[in-house]
Chains A and B, each alone.
Chain A
Amino acid sequence: MSLAEGTKPRHVPDRLTGRSQRVLRSWELLLFAVAVGIFVANSLASPYFLNPWNLSDATFNFTERAMIGFAMALLIISGEIDLSVAGIIALASTAMGWALQFDVGTAGLIAIALAVGLACGAFNGALVTRFGLPSIVVTIGTMSLFRGISYIILGDQAFNGYPEGIAFLGRGYAFWVVSVQLVLFAVFAVVFGVLLHKTNFGRQIYTIGNNPTAARFSGVRVERVKFILFLLTGVMAAVAAICLTGRLGSTRPSIAYAWELEVVTMVVLGGVSILGGAGSILGVVIAALVMGLVTFGLGLLNVPGIVMSIFIGALLIGVIAIPRLIALVRLRRRA
């Protein structure tokens, strides 16, 4: 405040702080340090960790979730959320399995999954933007709805017998130890990173998340942007459904159960503000790596799944609490 009052008019520089300073203070750097720490700890704890094939295997722990996470990050930055993503996976995968009988081929199956994702996203988006309903309520509802349809169709049965092409997407390798999924993960990271950070659309997402009223008053078509984000999230859930179905080779209605919380955890861990308005794709990428490394490392040590969830939960709270604690300590010291 006093800074603003004291400076002379006319001579306003473009930027206040240098680029290096901003990087040093960033959340992403802190998270990256955590990732490196976990990597080192893992390599000390288990002799199998540094094997490239093992490490490559580990990436399957996060690639599908992270693909949804990118779209979810945009949605959360805009101030909305989609908790039905795992339900969309179930429904899209079920649709693929159901379509197997018509022999539509790999491309046909992919198209069907994407169409289901798009339709689910449109349904969520319409309920939120047309009727002004809170997205957390809408998508808790559609979460059960989408998976429920899948249960009705499948019961205790399973679809299997997916073509080679789908399996390749799910568990194939592009070259050496680099899986097709890892390549998709990298491509989507870049696409969403560019979309959020380098386009007008991305800028509008931030303005909506920070202040939807002022964004609207500035000519941003808030409802349209939000609707598109729901569509994108639905489509990315469908992409994840294709990969996961290919990897598992079968569809059961319980597929990807409770993934929505893991995806949201990843996004929040990546520094995206759950209140909207702030966050980056880089943060989500690093958070995906952190979660993948933790899950994999603990798996190598034969730690049971429930303990892993405890660890991830503690990590989330810890990483979020640290900056607050630092701020608090600084305040105390000043007082």
Chain B
Amino acid sequence: MQQNTQSAAVEPVSERDPVLRLSGISKSFPGVKALSDVELALYPGQVTALVGENGAGKSTLVKILTGIYQPDGGEIVIDGSPTRFPTANDAAEAGVTAIHQETVLFDELSVAENIFLGHAPRGRFGLVDWPRMNREASEILKRIGARIDPKVVLRELGIANKHLVAIARALSIEARVVVMDEPTASLSQTEIEELYDLVERLKGEGKAILFISHKFDEVFRIADRYTVFRDGEMVDAGLISETSENALVEKMVGRSVDTIFPQRQSQPGEEVLRVEGYAHPTEFADISFSLRRGEILGFYGLVGAGRSEFMQALFGVTRPSGGSVQIEGRAAEIRSPADAIHQGIVYVPEDRGRQGAITAMPIFQNVTLPSLGRTSKRGFVRMAEEFKLAREYTQRLELRAAALDQPVGELSGGNQQKVVIAKWLATKPKVIILDEPTKGIDVGSKAAVHEFMAELAREGLSVIMVSSEIPEILGMSDRVVVMREGRMVGEYPKDDLSPEALVRAAAGYGEEAA
């Protein structure tokens, strides 16, 4: 199919017809509008970079392109004719393929099997034609410059080679559109260079490439076009040659920061928490900071910068390999969450369903779990006391629920979050760590969480807020720590905060913060 267009010489960036065009695509989830009225065009032989903050809707778009999600509205047009991808297979048949951040491969199968899974060449009686499959696999691998034996079991390959297998798999289905979702996130510098070569080769073959990345140097090196998403909307698109890093950062961040956040006059008190030289064998190193009473300290960074890993070590979930913690001037040893809670440090995790709430159990039992010592008498539960405590704290958070014995899993995301926060406030903590506190909850609940956070700080609670949303970081924090690749790369007081500086520090672009 379309052999002649594919082999046609690659023209310089021009007004050729796009292979694939999305128009007016919208997608909502309960309580969240992930994409609204989005436009995107992908041209043969060109790389289009898609940039945007976490939560801007990039992943949702990838899932729509690959048939995993169905858009609520809008059109997918391929070669000028509207089409639909009811399943992932339909997308593959239409020539759209994706290489994900974390590749979906099978460790126990051979390289060739992974490449051809689901569309293996068949021989007589419909059995898999193994020699042909291995031959074709090795051709594809050669084409992308990978020196991998197709018969090897995938488990034996390193992460970079696994990535190449994923790319080979994408190419095995005669793809015309290749989506690369942060393909360099787990690669070393030399591997990244090889990937760039590969992208060039794919361009040469006339493929249309959608390249999703946080890293601006990358975008400017290999992309021909760009599209910027913010809060589920397409805010800008054009030719890379006609824009600049600064312009892209500004488009990404937007300018609606101070309007929606609560105004607060913070007067931080004495030091409550001091962390020095916290380190972990693999996830982070040399984290030092202090936190004062009534202060909100933001932790900004890209996904994978080690922020959550550090917070979980501070909360006692994982053991650090070095460093010390002082609480109100006294050295504290935190070896388990129970220790942390005892010391007055609590943690609201990002992954509510798995780490935060016990969704199958009633609201009141979730709230009282860490406070059972107070609601019980000599180890025996007292339901009336539990209801009393749960009522007190859920009321404060204006929880919406049918009853306090309703399972937490039946609540909306925002209300589940409120249950988790209520659980912690009931322990009367000194420091509360909120990890992506507003991720995946609707705008109204977001504002309520922000309002509440400000109120807690006003009452003297010290707050650590991990967030990947720049407006939230800027709008709420008294101070911001930026992390990149497991290390602190900067600490900014409120007055020195600018979205551009944060983005640059987090992405390692410009290097002025190092």
Residues of A in contact with B (beta carbons under 8 Å apart): 1, 3-5, 7-10, 12-16, 198-204, 206-207, 210-211, 213-221, 277-278
Given A15-B404, A210-B358, A217-B355 in contact, is the A4-B372 Cβ separation under 8 Å?
no
Is A218's CB under 8 angstroms from B423's CB? yes
What residues of chain B lie closer than 8 Å to A215, measured between beta carbons?
358, 369
- List 13 other contacts, CB 8 Å, given A14-B405, A207-B369, A219-B338: A9-B400, A12-B395, A16-B402, A198-B381, A207-B361, A207-B365, A214-B355, A214-B358, A216-B336, A217-B356, A219-B336, A219-B369, A221-B336
What residues of chain B lie closer than 8 Å to A221, measured between beta carbons?
336, 338
- Bound Cα distance A277, B338 (Å): 21
What residues of chain A lie closer than 8 Å to B347, measured between beta carbons?
217
What residues of chain B lie closer than 8 Å to A199, measured between beta carbons?
376, 379-381
Contact of B404 among A14, A201, A210, A220 (CB under 8 A): A14
Is A9's CB under 8 angstroms from B370's CB? no
Is A13's CB under 8 angstroms from B403's CB? yes
Is B398's CB under 8 angstroms from A14's CB? no
Within 8 A of A (CB), among B343-370: 347, 349, 354-361, 364-365, 369-370
Interface size on B, residues (CB 8 A): 47
User: Closest B-chain residue to A10, C-beta based?
Assistant: B395
Is B370's CB under 8 angstroms from A213's CB? no
- Bound Cα distance A9, B349 (Å): 24
Contact of A4 among B355, B360, B398, B410 (CB under 8 A): B410
What residues of chain A lie closer than 8 Å to B415, measured between beta carbons?
4
Is B358's CB under 8 angstroms from A203's CB? no
Judge if B77 is at the interface, Cβ distance under 8 Å: no
Judge if B38 is at the interface, Cβ distance under 8 Å: no
What residues of chain A lie closer than 8 Å to B337, measured between beta carbons?
216-219
What are some 10 contacts across the A-B interface (CB < 8 A)? Answer: A9-B400, A14-B387, A14-B404, A15-B404, A16-B402, A202-B381, A207-B361, A211-B354, A219-B342, A221-B338
Given A207-B358, A218-B337 in contact, is the A200-B404 Cβ separation under 8 Å?
no
Judge if B406 is at the interface, Cβ distance under 8 Å: yes
What residues of chain B lie closer than 8 Å to A9, measured between beta carbons?
398-400
Judge if B192 is at the interface, Cβ distance under 8 Å: no
Nearest-neighbour CB distance to chain B for A76, whole angstroms, equals 16
What residues of chain B lie closer than 8 Å to A8, measured between beta carbons?
400
Given A5-B400, A15-B403, A210-B360 in contact, is the A218-B354 Cβ separation under 8 Å?
no
Per-residue interface assignment for chain B, residues 254 to 286, with 1 indicating a CB less than 8 Å from any chain A CB and 0 otherwise: 000000000000000000000000000000000
What residues of chain B lie closer than 8 Å to A10, measured between beta carbons?
395, 398
Judge if B450 is at the interface, Cβ distance under 8 Å: no
- Bound Cα distance A48, B388 (Å): 55
Is B361's CB under 8 angstroms from A206's CB? yes
- Bound Cα distance A3, B411 (Å): 9
Is B359's CB under 8 angstroms from A211's CB? yes
